[in-house]
């Protein structure tokens, strides 16, 4: 078993495992798998507000999901401290593409040029972390879901709104990858 934790899991293991969270949550408590609702629950819980969007009983609607989310953080900690693979063996083509943009440190799960406390004080780090984070929050709430709620739960349920949302995810992601990121990484 130990070698399962020494290199990255193949896609045909990781994908079905992720997909199993949909039936698992339904079977346990009729819950729909979706992470981004937690951002709304957290706002509702932490930032009391008169805004209608946050006026609901977050404990009865979202406590289960916030507990699940706490588990995600703990799971990330456990996996990374007990023998999870550190080397991200991306394709040589991606190494070449990113090197060309100005990424040279490929040692972590995220590039140290962009995702450290020190990098936060640089413009490119700020855009990656703060601007990127803001758009993740705003976009998922506007779209009513993220990769889990729309791409996995929604598409598995053959929902047209989710298909539109997923096209949006990739349209935005591709635009940022080809037009924004090279400039942000290389020039800022």
Task: List binders of another protein among 61-90 (CB under 8 A).
Answer: 61-65, 67-80, 84-85, 88, 90
Closer residue to another protein in complex, CB, 167/187: 167
Residue 100 makes contact with another protein by CB under 8 A:
no
Least Å distance, CB 50 to another protein, is: 10
The one among 1, 3, 32, 48 contacting another protein by CB under 8 A: 32
Least Å distance, CB 187 to another protein, is: 15
Least Å distance, CB 186 to another protein, is: 14
* DSSP state string for the chain: -GGGGTSPPPHHHHHHHHHTHHHHHHHHHSPPP-STHHHHHHHHHHS--S-GGG-S-HHHHHHHHHHHHHHHHHHHHHHHHTT--------HHHHHHHHHHT----SSSS-TTTSSTTGGGSHHHHIIIIIHHHHHHHHHHHHT--IIIIIIIIHHTT-HHHHHHHHHHHHHHHHIIIIIHHHHHHH-
Residue 1 makes contact with another protein by CB under 8 A:
no
Provide the mask over 116-155, with x wherever binding to another protein is found by CB under 8 A and - wherever it is not: xx-xx------xxxxxxxxxxxxxxxxxxxxxxxxxxxxx
């Amino acid at each position: 078993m130990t070698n399962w934790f020494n290199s990255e899991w193949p896609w045909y293991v990781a994908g079905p495992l992720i997909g199993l969270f949909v039936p698992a949550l339904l079977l346990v408590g009729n819950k729909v798998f979706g992470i981004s609702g937690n951002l709304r629950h957290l706002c509702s819980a932490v930032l009391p507000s008169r805004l209608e969007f946050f006026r609901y009983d977050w404990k009865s609607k979202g406590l289960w999901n916030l507990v699940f989310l706490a588990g995600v953080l703990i799971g990330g900690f456990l996996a990374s401290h007990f023998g999870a693979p550190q080397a991200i063996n991306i394709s040589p083509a991606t190494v070449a593409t990113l090197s060309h943009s100005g990424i040279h440190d490929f040692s972590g799960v995220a590039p140290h040029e962009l995702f450290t406390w020190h990098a936060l004080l640089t413009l490119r780090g700020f855009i990656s972390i703060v601007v990127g984070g803001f758009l993740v929050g705003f976009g998922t709430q506007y779209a009513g879901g993220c990769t889990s709620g729309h791409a996995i739960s929604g598409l598995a349920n053959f929902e047209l709104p989710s298909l539109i949302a997923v096209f949006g995810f990739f349209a935005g992601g591709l635009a940022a990858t080809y037009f924004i990121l090279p400039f942000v990484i290389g020039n800022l």
